[in-house]
Structure 1
Amino acid sequence: MGREWGALFPNGVGDEKGHPAPPCSIAIPNILIDGRRAKAVDNEGQPLPTLVYLTCEKRSQYHHNFKAGAMNALIWVSSRISNAPVILNVDCDMYSNNSESVRDALCFFLDEKKGHEIAYVQFPQVFDNLTKNDVYSSSLRIVSKVDLHGFDSYGGPLYIGSACFHRRESLCGTKYNKACQQDWMTIKVETKNNEESAHELEGICKVLPSCTYEENSHWGNEMGLKYGCAVEDVITGLAMQCRGWKSIYFDPPDRTGFLGVGPTTLLQALVQQKRWSDGDFHIFLRHNPLLYGYNIISLGLQLSYCLYLLWAPHCLASLYYVSVPSLCLLRGISLFPQVSNPWVIPFVYVFFGNLAFSLVEFLYCGGTCLEWLNSQRMWLYKTTTSYLFGFCDNILRLLGFSKSSFVLTAKVVDEDVSKRYEQELMEFGTTSPLFTVLATLALLNALVFFVGLKRLFVEDEPISLALNRYGLQITLCGLLAFINLPLYQPLFLRKDMGKMPTSATYRSIVFALVTCLTAMY
C-alpha cells in the first residue's frame, strides 16, 4: 500500500496463463513506474504510484514454496522500496471493484480504540462470472454471508488468501503488544530511498527474491506466510491470531470490494476443493487449533476453525450415507426403524429438518431454489470425491508414502466450454478418478432405487409391509438419484464434447455392477 504496488506471477509458480515456470530462472525486480519522483501521471494529471514487476529466482535444488514463497519475496522487496505499513494481497484472477476499499480498510486500522489490535481486514471472495443459478456452487454464499460474519464475534475471520489488507508488522512475525502502538500519521515512507534511482534500487533488490536469501532464517516459519501447507493463507492467519492479533471481516453493503473468476468446469471446482480440504486437514493434524491456540484464542474461534479444518474427514459420513443404505436395501436389510415405529421420527426430523433449514437460510442470503439445489448437489460431489482424496492424501502423507503438493486451478477455458457453462451444463469431457467415483455412486443409487421399487410393486410382499420396512431407504436412494440427474445426462444422453468420456462411463458401469453383485451374493 502507500505509494507502491507489486506485480507477480500467479501463485509464484508460472505465468498469467498458468504455465509452469522454467526449472531455473533468475530474480527480476523491475520498477516500471517510479512514483517516488512523481514523474508519471494519469489522464487527470495525478501522480501514479510506484509499480514494481517481480519474478522470483527458481532453481531445481531449492523449493520455491509456491504462493507463500512468492508472497514473502514481495514483502522483502516492498520493505526495501517503500516499507509501507499496509499490504494489500489480491490473487491474479481478482481485481478491485470498489475504489473505497482502501479507505474502508484504513478506517479499521486507524480506529483509536481497537485499530492497533487488527492484523488484517478480510473482504469476501466474490466471483463475477457465476451463472444465474451458480451451477458449481462457487459463490460460497453461506460462508461469506453467515459463517465469516460469525467469526467476528470470536476475534475475527480466517485469512482466505486474497482481497485482504495486512498490517505489515503482524505479517512479518511481530507479536501483538499494547506497548508497541504506532502512530501511522507520523510514518514517512520512502524518505530513505528518494535519492536512489530506479536502476540502483533494482540492483539492490535483486538479491531479495533469490533462492538463498531466506536460508537459515525464520521466514516461512515464524515470519511471513508459512510454508509446507497447501492452504498457506489459513495457517498464516491462525498463526497471527495466536500471536495476539485480531482480524476484521468487512463485506461492503453497497458495492463489492473485489471480484474474481470462479471455476467454469466441474473438474476445476473439485480440484480446488480437494486442495482446500487437503490443506485444511493438514493444518488440523499438524497445528490443531484446539492445542495450538489453547488459552491464546477463544474456544469459539478454535471451534470455528475446526468447522473448515475437518472438511476432509467429513467424507466418511457422506460415503456411508450414499452407499451403505443402498447396499443394505439390495440385501433386504432394513437399516432404519420402520415407518410405523415412533423411533423413525428423529431420523425424519434430522434429515428433512436440515434440508428445510438450509433452504430457508439460503433464500434469506439472496439465493434461489435452483441455486440451493445446485449447492446441495455440489456438497454431495465435494464430500464424496474432493474431501475423500484430500483425506487419503493426508493419511498417506502421515505414513510417509507421499509428500505435500500444490495443484493449480486452471483459469483459461475454450469457447465451447464457456458456452456450456453459460447454459449451466455440467462439464466433464476428460477422464479423472473424481468423475469415476461420482458416476459409480450415481449409478449405484439409480440401480438400487429401481430394485426398491421392484420390492414395492412386483414382489409378493404386500406394499404396505415393504414400505414400512424399506420406506426411508427407498426415499434416500430416490433423492440421491434425483440430485444426480445432471450426471446421468453426460453419461448416456449428451453428445457434445462436455459429456462423460466413454472409458469413464464403462468403468463406472462395471464398478457399480460389481458392487451390486458383491452386495447381493
Structure 2
Amino acid sequence: MGSDGYVPLFETKKVKGRVIYRLFSVSIFVGIRLILVYRFKCIPREGEDGRWVWIGLFAAELWFSLFWVCTQALRWNRVYRYEDDLPKVDIFVCTADPMIEPPMMVINTVLSVLAYDYPTQKLSVYLSDDAGSEITFYALLEASHFAKEWIPYCKKFRVEPRSPEAYFLSISDPNDVKETKEFVAIKKLYEDMENQIGRAAKLGRLSGEQQSKHKGFSQWDSYSSIRDHDTILQILVDGRDPNARDIEGRSLPTLVYLAQEKRPQHPHNFKAGAMNALIRVYEKISNGQIIHNVDCDMYSNDSQSVRDALCFFMDEEKGQEVAFVQFSEGFKNVTKNEIYGSSFRVGMEVEFHGLDGNGGPLYIGTGCFHRRDTLCGRKFDKECTNRWYMKNDPRSEVSLQELEAKSKVLASCTYEENTQWGKEASLFLTFSNTGLKYGCPVEDVITGLSIQCKGWKSVYFNPETKAFIGVAPITLPQTLVQHKRWAEGNFLILLSKYSPAWYALGKISFGLQLGYCHYSFWAPSCFATLYFSIVPSLYLLKGTPLFPQSSSLWFVPFAYVISAKYSYSLAEFLWSGGTILGWWNEQRIWLYKRTSSYLFGFIDAILKSAGFSDQAFVITAKVADEDVSE
C-alpha cells in the first residue's frame, strides 16, 4: 500500500535478465552488420560469375535483417501481469458453420461462460450464429434448460473447468468424486442433452415435437438459405424475469440467440459484421460496460476470468487507460511434440509479453475483454476515468416481445447504410467508424490497432492456468490455410492507409509499431526465404562460392549469427514449455509456411488490393476423424 492509501489491483513485473538479453541482441546485431559489410565489400566485379546471385543474397539478407529488428520489439521490453485482488459483463460467443463447428462444441463453450463465478444478474451471454442454423438454436434451447442444473452444481462443488465435456473427461473414476450421487445425476442429464442434439445434428433437421418446444422456431418459416434469411433473434432466458430461476431459486444469466439478417445483394462482413450486429443489439437488452468475446471452440477453463479482467479495468491509477484485456490461449488437442506447430507457443509465452511492454498486445479475436466505449469509437481522454461504472438500464418498462421486435431492426443487413455505423472506403479496406473493422481477414487485429491509435492501451494476461482452452489445427492443410489467412490479412493492413508503418506513426510507441510490422512482414518474407532455399543450392552445384571459407575471418559473423539465433530460439521454445523435437517441428513448419502459406497470402493480398478478387473468410475446421486424431 502506498502512502496515499492506494492499493493496485494488479502488479506489473519486467522480465528478468533484460540487460543480458539486450547485450546478446546487440551482439547479434553486430554480427548481422558484419555479414552485410562482407556481402557489400565482396560483391563480384562486373562480368564475374555469380554477381547477380550475390546481389540477390544481399537483398535477401537485408530483408532478414529488417525482419529480425522487428522481432526484437517483441522481446526487448517484456512484462508480465499478476492479479492481486478484485468488484455488468456481456459475453459474445460467435459461431459460423454447424458442420465445421458442431453444436455440442458451441454449447459447451456457452455453458462454460454461463457458469462464470460472477453475479448472474450482471451477466448476459449472446450467441451469434452466422449460419442461422435451426439445429444450433435447438442446441442452445436445450442448454438453457440444462443450465438450471449445471450452474448450481458448478458453484456448489466449485467445479473447474465449467465446460461440461471437459469436466466429465477430467474425471477418470466417478467413485473418486465426493459428490458421487450428484455427479452421476448431472452427467446423465448432460448425456441425454448430448444425445438429443446429436440426433438432430445427424439428421440435419428437427422433428415437429422438437420445434413445438419453443415459439422461436417459427422465425425459420421465412428462412431460405444461409445467405438469405430474416434477422432471427430470441431471448431464451431473461435475467430480469422473476421466473428465470435455477433449481435452487437463484436468478439465471440472460441468454440471447442472434442470427443477423442476410441477403445475397448485401455484404454481411463475416465475423466482424456479426460482432457489430451483436454490439447494436446488446445495447438495447443489457448494455454492459464490459464486452467479452470468445470463439465457439474456446471454452472457459477458469471461472474467475471475469474478475481477473476487471482487476485491470478497475485499477484506480492505471485502469482508466485500458481498452481491452487479451488473455492467452491454450489448446487441448496439441501433441507433445507439436507436429504442425499449431500452438503458437512462443507467440503466447514470449512475443505478446514483449508487445505488452510497448503499450499492449494485439486483439486476436477471442478470449478478450473490451471496454464498451472503445469498440464504439471513443478516443482516450482524461475524462474516461471510471466512467464505465455508470449504470445504464436500456430496458425501462419495455416488454420482452417489444424488446425483441425493436432489437431485430438493429441486426438488419441494411442498418449500417446512412447511419453512424456507416463506413468510409479506402483502396480496398473498409474502416468502420464504430465497432469492428471490415474488409480484412484479420478484422480483430485492425480493430485493436485502431483502438490503440486513439490513445488507449491494452493488457496481456497469461495466467499459469490457461483461462481459455480451444482447438488448434491438427493437419498440415488446416495449419497452412490458417496461416495463409493470417499472413494475407496482416499484409493487407500494411498496404492500406491504416498501415502500422505510417497511420500509427506517433500514435503508438515505436516498439509497438515494429511489433505490428513483424506480423505484417510475414507474407513478403516468402520471397527472401524462397531465394535462400533455392538459389545458393543451385550455385553450390556449379562450385560458385557465395559464402566465406571457414578459414576466413568473415566466416565468424556468419557462424555466430546462425548459431546464436538458433540456440536462443531453442532455449526460448524450451522455456515456453516445449520440447526439443517440438522446436525442430516448429522450424520445419515455418519453412512450409513461408514457402506456401505466405506466398499465396501475398499473391491474394495484392490481387485484393488491386480489385481483382473479393474478400473471403475461410473457417478452420474444428473436428477431425479418428484417424486424423491418432
1:268 aligns with 2:478: yes
Q: Distance in 2 between matches of 1:152 and 1:183?
A: 24
- Shift, 1:303, TM fit: 0.9
TM-score by length of 2: 0.63
Amino acid aligned to 1:318: T
Q: Is the 8 A contact 1:270 1:382 kept in 2?
A: yes
1:168 aligns with 2:372: yes
Q: Distance in 2 between matches of 1:198 and 1:248?
A: 37
Q: Is the 8 A contact 2:492 2:609 kept in 1?
A: no
Q: Distance in 1 between matches of 2:472 and 2:461?
A: 21
- Shift, 1:320, TM fit: 1.4
Q: Distance in 2 between matches of 1:289 and 1:15?
A: 42
Amino acid aligned to 2:591: L
Match of 1:78 in 2: 282
Q: Distance in 2 between matches of 1:4 and 1:39?
A: 16
Match of 2:536 in 1: 325
Match of 1:498 in 2: none
Amino acid aligned to 1:225: L
Q: Is the 8 A contact 1:35 1:50 kept in 2?
A: yes
- Shift, 1:15, TM fit: 8.4
Q: Is the 8 A contact 2:132 2:232 kept in 1?
A: no
Amino acid aligned to 1:71: M
Match of 1:28 in 2: 232
1:52 aligns with 2:252: no
State the percentage of identical aligned residues. Answer: 56
Q: Distance in 2 between matches of 1:15 and 1:334?
A: 64
Aligned pairs for 1:245-260 (under 5 A) are 245-253=456-464, 255-260=465-470
Q: Distance in 2 between matches of 1:403 and 1:75?
A: 26
Q: Is the 8 A contact 1:11 1:70 kept in 2?
A: no
Q: Distance in 2 between matches of 1:166 and 1:203?
A: 27
Q: Which has the higher contact order (CA 8 A, sep 6+)?
A: 2
- Shift, 1:216, TM fit: 2.3
- Shift, 1:38, TM fit: 3.9
Q: Distance in 1 between matches of 2:419 and 2:454?
A: 19
Pair 1:400–1:188, CA change in 2 (3 A): closer
1:188 aligns with 2:400: no
Match of 1:215 in 2: 417
Q: Distance in 1 between matches of 2:555 and 2:130?
A: 52
Q: Distance in 1 between matches of 2:592 and 2:576?
A: 22
Deviates more, 1:346-355 or 1:243-252: 346-355
Root mean square deviation of aligned Cα: 2.1
Pair 1:399–1:77, CA change in 2 (3 A): closer
Per-residue CA deviation, residues 432-469 of structure 1 (Å, 9 max, x unaligned), is xxxxxxxxxxxxxxxxxxxxxxxxxxxxxxxxxxxxxx
- Shift, 1:311, TM fit: 0.8
Per-residue CA deviation, residues 278-316 of structure 1 (Å, 9 max, x unaligned), is 000000111221311122111111111111111111111
- Work out the number of aligned pairs and report it: 415
Q: Distance in 1 between matches of 2:388 and 2:444?
A: 26
Q: Is the 8 A contact 2:131 2:226 kept in 1?
A: no
- Shift, 1:194, TM fit: 5.1
Amino acid aligned to 1:210: S
- Shift, 1:44, TM fit: 4.3
Per-residue CA deviation, residues 221-263 of structure 1 (Å, 9 max, x unaligned), is 121000011100000000000111111101112x211111110
Pair 1:52–1:132, CA change in 2 (3 A): same
Among 439, 445, 451, the alignment partner of 1:228 is: 439
Amino acid aligned to 2:337: N
TM-score by length of 1: 0.76
1:308 aligns with 2:519: yes
- Shift, 1:183, TM fit: 4.3
1:379 aligns with 2:590: yes
- Shift, 1:184, TM fit: 4.3
Q: Is the 8 A contact 1:176 1:245 kept in 2?
A: yes
* SS class of match (1:346): helix
Q: Distance in 1 between matches of 2:612 and 2:376?
A: 33
- Shift, 1:334, TM fit: 2.3
Q: Distance in 2 between matches of 1:277 and 1:75?
A: 28
Match of 1:123 in 2: 327
Q: Is the 8 A contact 1:9 1:15 kept in 2?
A: no
* SS class of match (1:119): strand
Q: Distance in 1 between matches of 2:240 and 2:328?
A: 32
Amino acid aligned to 1:327: L
Amino acid aligned to 1:265: T
Q: Distance in 2 between matches of 1:38 and 1:92?
A: 29
Structure 1: unaligned runs, 5 residues or longer: 420-521
Q: Distance in 1 between matches of 2:436 and 2:225?
A: 21
Pair 1:418–1:342, CA change in 2 (3 A): same
Pair 1:336–1:15, CA change in 2 (3 A): farther
Q: Distance in 2 between matches of 1:26 and 1:328?
A: 62
Amino acid aligned to 1:217: T
Amino acid aligned to 2:548: P
Match of 1:5 in 2: 125
Among 376, 379, 388, the alignment partner of 2:599 is: 388
- Shift, 1:46, TM fit: 2.6
Among 500, 514, 520, the alignment partner of 1:289 is: 500
Q: Is the 8 A contact 2:132 2:226 kept in 1?
A: no
Q: Distance in 1 between matches of 2:359 and 2:131?
A: 28
Q: Distance in 1 between matches of 2:313 and 2:253?
A: 21
Q: Distance in 1 between matches of 2:340 and 2:325?
A: 27
Match of 1:197 in 2: 399
Structure 2: unaligned runs, 5 residues or longer: 1-88, 90-121, 137-200, 205-223, 422-430
Among 481, 485, 489, the alignment partner of 1:279 is: 489
- Shift, 1:342, TM fit: 2.3
Q: Distance in 2 between matches of 1:52 and 1:350?
A: 55
Amino acid aligned to 1:261: V
Q: Distance in 1 between matches of 2:241 and 2:133?
A: 32
Pair 1:372–1:13, CA change in 2 (3 A): farther
Q: Distance in 2 between matches of 1:152 and 1:289?
A: 16
- Shift, 1:331, TM fit: 2.7
Q: Is the 8 A contact 1:176 1:243 kept in 2?
A: yes
Match of 2:117 in 1: none
1:133 aligns with 2:344: no
* SS class of match (2:551): coil
- Shift, 1:152, TM fit: 1.7
Q: Is the 8 A contact 1:281 1:312 kept in 2?
A: yes
Among 243, 247, 250, the alignment partner of 1:39 is: 243
Q: Is the 8 A contact 1:12 1:66 kept in 2?
A: no
Q: Is the 8 A contact 1:12 1:70 kept in 2?
A: no
Amino acid aligned to 1:264: I
Q: Distance in 2 between matches of 1:302 and 1:264?
A: 32
Per-residue CA deviation, residues 38-61 of structure 1 (Å, 9 max, x unaligned), is 422334443111100000111010
- Shift, 1:400, TM fit: 3.3
- Shift, 1:193, TM fit: 1.4
- Shift, 1:338, TM fit: 2.1
Q: Is the 8 A contact 2:293 2:366 kept in 1?
A: yes
Match of 1:98 in 2: 302
- Shift, 1:348, TM fit: 2.0
* SS class of match (2:325): strand
Amino acid aligned to 2:514: L
Q: Is the 8 A contact 1:85 1:167 kept in 2?
A: yes
Deviates more, 1:122-131 or 1:55-64: 122-131
Pair 1:194–1:398, CA change in 2 (3 A): closer
Q: Is the 8 A contact 1:172 1:224 kept in 2?
A: yes
Q: Is the 8 A contact 2:239 2:251 kept in 1?
A: yes
Q: Distance in 1 between matches of 2:409 and 2:391?
A: 25
- Shift, 1:196, TM fit: 2.7
Q: Distance in 2 between matches of 1:343 and 1:183?
A: 61
Q: Is the 8 A contact 2:260 2:277 kept in 1?
A: yes
- Shift, 1:345, TM fit: 2.0
